[in-house]
Amino acid sequence: MIEAVKALPGLIKDWKTNSDLLYQHVGCVAGILTVAAYVREQRPSEVLADLFNAVGVPRVGAWLESDLPPFLAQPDAQSSHALVQVAGVAVLLMLVMPFFNARRNESYVDSQAAGLFGARAASTTWILLVIAVQLGSLQWGIDWLRSTSLALAAIMAFCSVALLVVYAVARKLWMQDLLAPVGRGLWWLIARGSAVVAMAVFALVFVIIGPALGLGAWLFSTESDAHNETQRRIAQRRAEREAPTGAIPTP
């Protein structure tokens, strides 16, 4: 978890120059529309129509209200459910792949979890959800997520109590050393899993707030681009001078 937190400043800085910036902005709009549509109990097209009407562009608002293509204008609960399920698969991949990538690359899970920040899967999730909420309601998905989370919390609580009981019995029988590897493995899984879950949630949230933060950082920057470029060149020249040449020093 500490490794993931340490990597955040550099990842935030690199996000502004990411080659997928356009796709991330599309994901940002999709995320905002999804949240707004759920809160207002409207479809994303209705949210946009209200926005354009409010800013004085009624023609666009009228088109969004009455002239959308049929595949977007007509509700389709089955397609909506399918899109939510695909979005769930995207989130599941965000939670699982850091472990596989760490094993494949022989690196730490925390560093792989930090790679979720700015990943396309987060933007894809919001894009799928905004289409899903246009075609139907997300309430069933939210209810399923809530019930699943409660079930997982209950299972974890039960397992924790069971492990404490087993450890107490083993300690009484002077056999606690046999459970030490299991305890270390569980602690590793909890710590690494917490890092991955935290970064996945933050990645999804950052898709929405990232452009605003980037704009704020640009507006209130206290160093000019020319100064940053000069500092980069100085650091590069210093690194070149300090690099070993391979020559054998003369006595």
- CA dihedral (154, 155, 157, 158) positive or negative: positive
**pLDDT band for position 158 (cuts 50, 70, 90):** confident
> Rounded mean pLDDT of 179-200?
77
Helices (H), the chain: 2-15, 21-40, 44-54, 58-66, 70-73, 77-105, 109-114, 120-135, 139-172, 180-219, 225-242
Q: Please tell me the least confidently modeled range out of 18-32, 70-84, 172-186.
A: 172-186
- pTM for this model (two decimals): 0.75
CB 184 within 8 A of CB 100: no
pLDDT of residue 130: 92
Asked whether the predicted pLDDT for residue 184 surpasses 80, the reply is: no
Of 100, 117, 118, the closest CA to residue 109 belongs to: 100
> Between vectors from CA 52 to CA 71 and to CA 28, what angle results, nearest 5°?
70
Across 44-53, 154-163, 190-199, which has the greatest mean pLDDT?
44-53
pLDDT of residue 107: 77
Asked whether the predicted pLDDT for residue 1 surpasses 60, the reply is: no
Across 25-34, 66-75, 154-163, 216-225, which has the greatest mean pLDDT?
25-34
